[in-house]
């Protein structure tokens, strides 16, 4: 058995030059391509030495992924491998290129070698596409927007690779298009939908013509279609299809639609609105899949301690594997999302250009206004009114401690310089 394929990471088997993006019919200039190639960051020295390099005999496809992680964790996992809770780990080599959200592009593995990026996959009757393709990871999530800088960089990279290998635009596919799953408790037959990564990839913004008008393996009867992905890629609306940009459980956004085959993985975490936390492998026995409450947050690729996710009320903490987007969703860059950096600096979301640069242990609160400093002539009561003792009213003490109002024992002893943040709805 090919152990590298068996232990492919859950979602990473899926994975800044200010000029206008090209249309599908516009080529980049030689100078633009040369500048882009010269700026690619060589990350190959960090490849796990245990990864066995095998030369690829044929290159027929270029597979686009979303990494479902932040930049630092993406680079570590694709290069060094993924550590599982049960002690297993992979040997890295899970993609050829990584493109950060600011457009920086990293070379993980020389393009001549096979990268273990596609897992169980098929396209037009050809299986195991890792043997036939180059993998490109866009840092981010399949339920989050891909940035303009990423589209520009991947447009340049795809243009170069297509010329090198003599490929046309139809050779560019997403992992969610080519991945498939074996029969399981939910599906009686081999089926699409095993991965959701890069279902938010807009080909036109990368300078590509439309994809295939149909799934050749579904048409030939080799696989059963996934209704949502079929609508996204081949339906009458195609990319205009309503791809829900959230990792929250709702009536129409199920665990399967968010996490794909990783819905019941120990690395997928479900954080309930009441603060309870379960891993995917606990839901069936302890909760039941049909009893997941609305607004449950689904967090992918979590390999750390669940203690990092303990409920601190409104205060969330960026930990290894979790970004501002995974915690705040589409509010990550709003002025009402407040970030408390480990350095002591405070910024609102409109001041943050990208979550890749936020350090681990950064704390955040979502849907707040402030800061309002406590002064001798401005008490907590004058700032927050009757809500000054409410757990949703947040106090940032000079000691960098964040406390809800219900945890303040003596308001008369609040130090000058304490900052108050109140829900924006007040």
Q: Which residues face 269 on adjacent strands?
A: 279, 299
| Least confident stretch, 55-64, 85-94, 234-243, 304-313 | 234-243
Q: How confident is the model at residue 245 (pLDDT cuts 50, 70, 90)?
A: low
Does residue 9 carry a pLDDT above 50? no
Q: Please indicate whether residue 188 or residue 177 has the higher confidence score (pLDDT).
A: 177
Average pLDDT, the chain: 87
Paired tokens of 188: 């009686």
Cβ contact 402:363 at 8 Å: yes
What value does the mean pLDDT take over residues 235-242?
A: 56
How far apart are the C-alpha atoms of 251 and 248, rounded to whole Å? Answer: 10
| Least confident stretch, 232-246, 271-285, 365-379 | 232-246
| Least confident stretch, 53-67, 237-251, 389-403 | 237-251
pLDDT given for residue 92 in this prediction? 94
pLDDT given for residue 311 in this prediction? 64
Number of Cβ within a 10 Å radius of residue 31: 8
| Domain coordinates in residue numbering, the chain | 3-240, 246-302, 303-423
pLDDT given for residue 321 in this prediction? 64
In CATH, what is the architecture of 3-240? 3-Layer(aba) Sandwich (3.40)
Paired tokens of 132: 């036939």
pLDDT tens-place string over residues 71-104: 988 999 999 998 776 677 899 999 999 999 999 9
Number of Cβ within a 10 Å radius of residue 293: 12
The answer to pTM > 0.85 is: no
How far apart are the C-alpha atoms of 95 and 15, rounded to whole Å? Answer: 8
pLDDT tens-place string over residues 38-49: 999 999 999 999
Strand 97-99 relative to strand 172-174: parallel, antiparallel, unpaired? Answer: unpaired
Helix (H) or strand (E) holding 298: strand 297-299
Question: CA torsion sign, 228 to 231 to 233 to 238?
Answer: negative
How far apart are the C-alpha atoms of 227 and 365, rounded to whole Å? Answer: 36
């Amino acid at each position: 058995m090919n152990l590298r394929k068996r232990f492919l990471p859950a979602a990473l088997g899926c994975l800044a030059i200010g000029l206008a993006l090209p249309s599908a019919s516009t080529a980049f200039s030689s100078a633009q391509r040369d500048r882009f190639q010269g700026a690619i960051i060589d990350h190959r020295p960090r490849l796990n030495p245990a990864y066995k390099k095998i030369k690829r005999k044929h290159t027929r496809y270029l597979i686009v992924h979303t990494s479902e992680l932040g930049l630092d964790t993406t680079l570590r996992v694709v290069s060094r491998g993924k550590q599982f809770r049960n002690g297993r780990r992979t040997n890295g080599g899970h993609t050829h290129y990584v493109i950060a959200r600011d457009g920086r592009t990293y070379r993980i593995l020389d393009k001549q070698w096979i990268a273990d990026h596609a897992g169980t996959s098929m396209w037009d009757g050809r299986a195991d596409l890792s043997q036939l393709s180059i993998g490109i990871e866009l840092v981010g999530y399949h339920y989050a927007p891909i940035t303009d800088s990423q589209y520009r960089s991947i447009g340049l990279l795809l243009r170069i690779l297509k010329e090198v290998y003599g490929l046309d635009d139809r050779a560019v596919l997403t992992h969610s298009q080519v991945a498939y799953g074996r029969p399981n408790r939910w599906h009686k037959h081999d089926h699409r939908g095993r991965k959701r990564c890069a279902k938010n990839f807009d080909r036109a913004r990368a300078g590509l013509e439309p994809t295939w008008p149909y799934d050749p393996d579904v048409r030939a009867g080799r696989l059963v279609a996934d209704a949502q992905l079929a609508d996204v890629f081949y339906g009458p609306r195609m990319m205009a299809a309503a791809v829900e940009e959230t990792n929250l459980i709702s009536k129409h956004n199920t665990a399967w639609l968010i996490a794909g085959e990783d819905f019941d993985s120990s690395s997928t975490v479900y954080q309930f609105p009441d603060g309870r936390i379960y891993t995917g492998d606990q839901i069936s026995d302890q909760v039941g899949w049909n009893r997941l409450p609305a607004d449950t947050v689904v967090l992918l690729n979590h390999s750390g301690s669940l203690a990092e996710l303990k409920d601190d009320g409104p205060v969330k903490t960026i930990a290894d594997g979790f970004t501002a987007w995974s915690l705040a969703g589409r509010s990550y860059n709003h002025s009402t999302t407040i970030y408390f950096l480990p350095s002591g600096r405070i910024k609102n979301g409109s001041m943050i250009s990208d979550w890749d640069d936020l350090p681990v242990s950064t704390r955040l609160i979502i849907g707040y206004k402030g800061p309002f400093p406590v002064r001798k002539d401005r008490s907590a009561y004058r700032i927050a009114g009757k809500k000054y003792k409410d757990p949703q009213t947040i106090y940032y003490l000079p000691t960098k401690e964040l406390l809800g109002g219900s945890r303040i024992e003596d308001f008369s002893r609040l130090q000058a310089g304490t900052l108050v943040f109140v829900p924006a709805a007040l």
